[in-house]
């Protein structure tokens, strides 16, 4: 399957693509509104709820805009490179979860719950503590690469 065919099949199979797909596929957080699927040899993540999807889109768009300095970008025109997108998605969810102290340390943060609790705590997505979240993005370390045996 060539890349054009894959993208076409992906879009028809997944009309509501989860905006936190990279974070969920990294296995460092989860979302109870997501649905996993396989296409060819790749995994995809769909959102089961259009209202939650729009809330996540708003949060991630605002987070990217606030994280420009931490990502060493002057402007964001289009999608971020993979590593920077992973940093934004994972670090912001993990740090927001830590600030809210909602789940135990041994459990993966639930994105839907973290954002919902954030809205309950701060009233709107625009009032989230973005200065703290962007610090976490700047300090975020990805997983270490595995050593070859």
- Label residues 70-79 b or e (16+ Cβ within 10 Å = b): bbeeeeeeee
In a domain, 95, yes or no: yes
Instruction: Report d(CA 68, CA 71) in Å as an integer.
Output: 5
In a domain, 33, yes or no: yes
pLDDT band at residue 136 using 50, 70 and 90 as cut-offs: very high
In a domain, 118, yes or no: yes
pTM for the whole structure:
0.84
In a domain, 66, yes or no: yes
pLDDT number for residue 104: 57
> Using an 8 Å Cβ cutoff, are 96 and 114 in contact?
yes
Calculate the alpha carbon distances from 103 to 5, 63, 96 in Å. 41, 21, 11
The domain in which residue 112 lies consists of 3-139
Residues in Cβ contact with 42 at an 8 Å cutoff, skipping those fewer than 6 apart: 6
In a domain, 14, yes or no: yes
Count the domains in the chain. Answer: 1
> Using an 8 Å Cβ cutoff, are 25 and 38 in contact?
no
> Using an 8 Å Cβ cutoff, are 11 and 91 in contact?
no
Using alpha carbons only, how large is the chain's radius of gyration in Å? 16
Report pLDDT digits (tens) over 4-19. Answer: 887 788 787 778 999 9
In a domain, 149, yes or no: no
Average pLDDT of the residues of the chain: 88
Report pLDDT digits (tens) over 17-64. Answer: 999 999 999 999 999 999 998 887 888 899 999 999 999 999 999 999
Instruction: Report d(CA 119, CA 109) in Å as an integer.
Output: 16
In a domain, 87, yes or no: yes
Ranking 22-31, 73-82, 123-132 by mean pLDDT, the lowest is 73-82
């Amino acid at each position: 399957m060539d890349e054009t065919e894959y993208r076409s099949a992906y879009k028809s199979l997944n009309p509501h693509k989860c905006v936190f797909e990279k974070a969920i596929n990294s296995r460092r957080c989860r979302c109870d509104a997501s649905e996993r699927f396989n296409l060819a040899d790749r995994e995809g993540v769909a959102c089961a709820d259009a209202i939650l999807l729009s809330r996540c889109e708003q949060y991630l768009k605002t987070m990217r805009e606030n994280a420009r300095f931490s990502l060493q970008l002057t402007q964001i025109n289009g999608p971020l490179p993979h590593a920077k997108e992973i940093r934004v998605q994972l670090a912001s969810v993990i740090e927001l979860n830590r600030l809210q102290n909602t789940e135990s340390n041994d459990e993966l943060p639930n994105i839907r719950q973290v954002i919902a609790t954030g809205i309950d705590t701060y009233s709107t997505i625009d009032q989230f503590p973005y200065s703290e979240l962007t610090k976490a993005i700047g300090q975020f370390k990805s997983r270490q690469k595995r050593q070859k045996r």
